Amino acid sequence: MITFTSENRIPMKLHHGTEQELDVLEVSETVQASKLILFNDDVNTFDHVITSLIEVCNHEPMQAEQCALLVHYTGKCAVKEGQFNTLEPLCTSLHDRGLSAEIQ
């Protein structure tokens, strides 16, 4: 969604030497952040999940371990936030490693 936040008039010199006031709009873009959610399963080991989060999501080892524990005890954990097009290849990589994940 793009929102227009203000409208100003500024003097501008045109290429043929005359000056004219032009409207200038300041635009701010609001981007909804998506979340990459990792879900618990009964198949993958803690070590595999932790290694996958480090390699795919660029987590620090402690962060990956904490996420793995949250997934184990609560059933899911948001392991990364960002724009959908940035999270999509990460989600695919987690799937390729046998992990259950989705983007919300």
pLDDT at position 17: 67
- CA 3 – CA 53 distance, rounded (Å): 36
pLDDT at position 54: 98
In a domain, 13, yes or no: no
In a domain, 70, yes or no: yes
Do 58 and 70 form a contact (C-beta atoms < 8 A)? no
* CATH number, domain containing residue 88: 3.30.1390.10
pTM (whole model) above 0.85: no
More confident residue, 29 or 7: 29
pLDDT beyond 70 at 12? no
pLDDT beyond 60 at 7? no
When pLDDT is averaged across residues 7-12 and rounded to a whole number, the result is: 60
- CA 80 – CA 48 distance, rounded (Å): 18
In a domain, 16, yes or no: no
pLDDT beyond 50 at 5? no
CB half-sphere exposure, 16, CA atoms < 13 A: 1
